[in-house]
Amino acid sequence: MARLRAFRPQRPKTLFAKMWHSVLALMLLNFVVHAFLVTGTLQLGSEAQTERRLTRIADHWGGQPPLTAPLRIDPVTVIYPRYELLPAKLQGLLDAKARGVFEVGPRAQDYFVLARAGEERPAFYVVEFHSEVKPNDTIEHQVFIWYLAGITPFCLGLLWVCQRISARVTAPMRDVGQQVLDRSPTSLAPLTLPAGHSVELKALVEQINSALARTGEVLERERRFTQFVSHELRTPVAVMQSALERIETSALPEQAGAVERAHRGLRDMHALVDTFLQLSTAEKHPGLAGTTVIDTAWLEDLMLHVGGGQRGQELVVDMQAALELDAPPTLAHVLIGNLLKNALFHGGPGPIRVVVRSEGLEVRNSLRDEPGTPGFGLGCQIVRRICHHCGWTFDLSLADGTAVARLAFTAKPETGAADGAV
């Protein structure tokens, strides 16, 4: 269970959700410290008040004639004129020569004793049974409870203030995040700064926009490079086509195979150059001219072309519905030819099955036991790029020893997309 919990994805938390535990812990710690400070202050205040009271009593009776017997000032305060008249318990706790104010006895039954001696009179003692007047446990508990009752709404209010502050601080960041969520994944348009943004958020958005601008520049350079290369390749392909046609007129019968292979290669080169030129346009869904009908005969002819004129591997076509692809023959040749080529040269034994529907097609083949050869996947990357440019969907899944490539020719609406290069 612990291992499953470790692999469970963590849900993102808000800033307040991350900080309220710490804020509450700090407030509780602050409450405990304040509670001890309050009780300690009560204790210290009581002792200071007692010392001042005993000092005032001693100042008053020090100017009076000496007493001959103990005098009770109030129920807890008694004046003893001599040390010998002190209760035996206090004599055991207080030295006869001690002068000043002393707190003696255990906490439950402590005494405050002021010992003072005049110039012409013996020492006398003002004794207070302090346990009767100092704040007891009941009073301290009451103070603690009242303090708790007062601090609880304060803590709740402070949490609410923290929530409001965190919401106000993160509101611009949420606006930027919503911009990212609402835009197309391929969009390179700069993010806009929301109202009330901070200096830190401005620096972050500027860095993101700078990265988007650099990415757009790289994609534009790649797109233009593809466009220029495609244009440059058209001339040598045309020259080779013209030369091949002249060679074909005077070729010997035993050279027919080589001439046919050259024709297939030139057909592939012409289709690739034409496709790359169409992909190098900046606009998405450019309204490709032409329609290609995908049927059994077209697929068998393409399979024969891909196989170099040899029918080495069986092709099984399941025509569930007629498919008219809104694309020129050259693009359809590259698109579906790459899937058949991958299945033929990188797949395992067994037939290659093609399921044709009105909205797409599916190519299914077995996989080899050994790893694929280097370069496997380039054809699929070209297929993915064509689908991305035309608004189609391409999906390749490898499971249970079978590769399944699916093409869906239903256009996907995208807003604000910035096209890249092949």
Question: Structurally, how many domains does the chain consist of?
Answer: 3
Q: Which two tokens stand for residue 123?
A: 């020492």
What pLDDT, on the 0 to 100 scale, is given for residue 361?
92
Looking at the fold, whether 243 and 291 belong to one and the same domain comes out as no
Looking at the fold, whether 319 and 394 belong to one and the same domain comes out as yes
Looking at the fold, whether 63 and 113 belong to one and the same domain comes out as yes
Is 158 part of any domain? no
Angle between helices 256-279 and 199-249 (to 10 degrees): 150
Q: What is the phi/psi pair of residue 143, to 5°?
A: -60, -40
Looking at the fold, whether 226 and 291 belong to one and the same domain comes out as no
pLDDT (tens digit per residue) in 294-306? 888 888 888 888 8
* 278 in Cβ contact with 272 (< 8 Å): no
Sign of the alpha-carbon torsion through 330, 331, 336, 339: positive
Looking at the fold, whether 295 and 259 belong to one and the same domain comes out as no
Is 292 part of any domain? yes
Is 6 part of any domain? no
Is 8 part of any domain? no
Looking at the fold, whether 269 and 316 belong to one and the same domain comes out as no
Strand order in the sheet with 111-117: 71-74, 77-80, 123-129, 111-117, 100-104
What pLDDT, on the 0 to 100 scale, is given for residue 289?
63
Domain assignment of residue 222, given as a range: 199-275
pTM for the structure as a whole: 0.50
pLDDT (tens digit per residue) in 383-419? 888 888 888 899 988 888 888 999 998 755 444 444 4
What pLDDT, on the 0 to 100 scale, is given for residue 363?
92
What pLDDT, on the 0 to 100 scale, is given for residue 17?
67
Could you say which residues of the chain have pLDDT below 50? Answer: 1-7, 9, 285-287, 374-376, 413-422
Looking at the fold, whether 261 and 327 belong to one and the same domain comes out as no
Looking at 121, 138, 155, the residue that finishes a domain is 138
Looking at the fold, whether 360 and 393 belong to one and the same domain comes out as yes
Looking at the fold, whether 271 and 289 belong to one and the same domain comes out as no
Looking at the fold, whether 44 and 73 belong to one and the same domain comes out as yes
Q: What is the phi/psi pair of residue 6, to 5°?
A: -70, -30
Which position has the token pair 């709740």? 156
At a CB cut-off of 8 Å and minimum separation 6, what does 304 contact? 310, 311
What pLDDT, on the 0 to 100 scale, is given for residue 413?
42
Looking at 138, 156, 191, the residue that finishes a domain is 138
d(CA 136, CA 46): 11
What pLDDT, on the 0 to 100 scale, is given for residue 422?
40
